[in-house]
Amino acid sequence: MATTGPEDFPARVTVREVGPRDGFQNEPESIPTSDKVRLIDALARTGLTRVEVGSFVRADVIPQLADGAEVLAGIAIPDGVDVAVLVPNQRGWEAALPHKDRFDEVIVFLSASETHNVKNINRPVADSLATVESLLGQVRDAGIRPLASIATSFGCPYEGHVDPKRVYELAGRMAAAGAEEISFGDTTGMANPRQVRTFYEEALERLPGVELTAHFHNTRGSALANALAALEAGVTSFESSFGELGGCPVPPGSTGNIATEDLISMLHEMGVDTGVDLAKLLDASRDVQRVLGRPLGSHVLTAGPVEWADE
């Protein structure tokens, strides 16, 4: 039977599925819109209450997400499931705005590292922060929940160590501009559990009233350990990607996000509720594996969920 964790573990956490955006954008070929719609609809019926479905970016930059408006128009999301989209800049927000009745949350982002920010979106961090602050206010004024994300929060593949104080300062500016939730990304899988626990313990003290989300990549196999460290620090909000889809466009070798089914399975085995039906989630992961035509990195997708002889 499932075992329970320490008494100070939260009884329940929420998970935002980011595969339809963060995962699909890293695929070498575009996935048909009809497949995206079917997969998102399936994910929204697993018990997940948050799904990131796409991004309003230039089609020549990320052609895999060029059908964002069509996906939004085609999905049928049950009540109680929040739909998020990512916008990179003012142009993206203006492209998303005509479709605002189809989503509940908008995510804006930047990198904590100057070099990564320039390589990722060709702008210095100061310029990105000014744009983010402006967008957060516009999103709030439109009656949509404003969210922010900070990439390379735990380390940069170009600059190495990222000072947590710099990350907290950026997060504080975002919170002051209206961000109700801030996600800290381990964009290229450089974090370790001790670092993560210390980071989130301080972040939770510095940013009261803001929902803090953990976003880990499994580039070096440490994503589940880092998720556990964040949980122990008091984090109750996570992002993950079904099948372990995703990665980072820069640099090479930055493999996928923590697999949603791996994260859900671990949490359930520790007695932490997510509201997610793991069997339904695995069905969705098998479907995306079939669509992509290759094995995916998720451990639970390969081995199956834990089955106890006395259950």
Cite the active site residues: 248
Q: What is the CA radius of gyration of the chain?
A: 18
**Residue 172 tokens, joined:** 């504080």
Q: How far apart are CA 259 and CA 216, in angstroms?
A: 10
Q: How far apart are CA 41 and CA 276, in angstroms?
A: 14
For residue 26, which of 279, 266, 252 has the smallest C-alpha distance? 252
**Residue 263 tokens, joined:** 């994260």
DSSP string, 111-143: ESSHHHHHHHHSS-HHHHHHHHHHHHHHHHHTT
Q: How far apart are CA 195 and CA 172, in angstroms?
A: 20
Q: Measured between alpha carbons, how far is residue 236 from residues 76, 133, 170, 272, 296 in Å?
A: 27, 25, 21, 10, 27
Q: How far apart are CA 237 and CA 252, in angstroms?
A: 28
H/E segment holding residue 284: helix 278-292
Identity at 140, one-letter amino acid code: R
User: Crossing angle, helix 33-43 and helix 278-292, to 10 degrees?
Assistant: 170
Q: How far apart are CA 244 and CA 225, in angstroms?
A: 15
Question: Is 254 within 8 Å of 157 (Cβ atoms)?
Answer: yes
Q: How far apart are CA 212 and CA 148, in angstroms?
A: 10
* Residue 27: exposure state from Cβ atoms within 10 A (0-12, 13-18, ≥19): middle
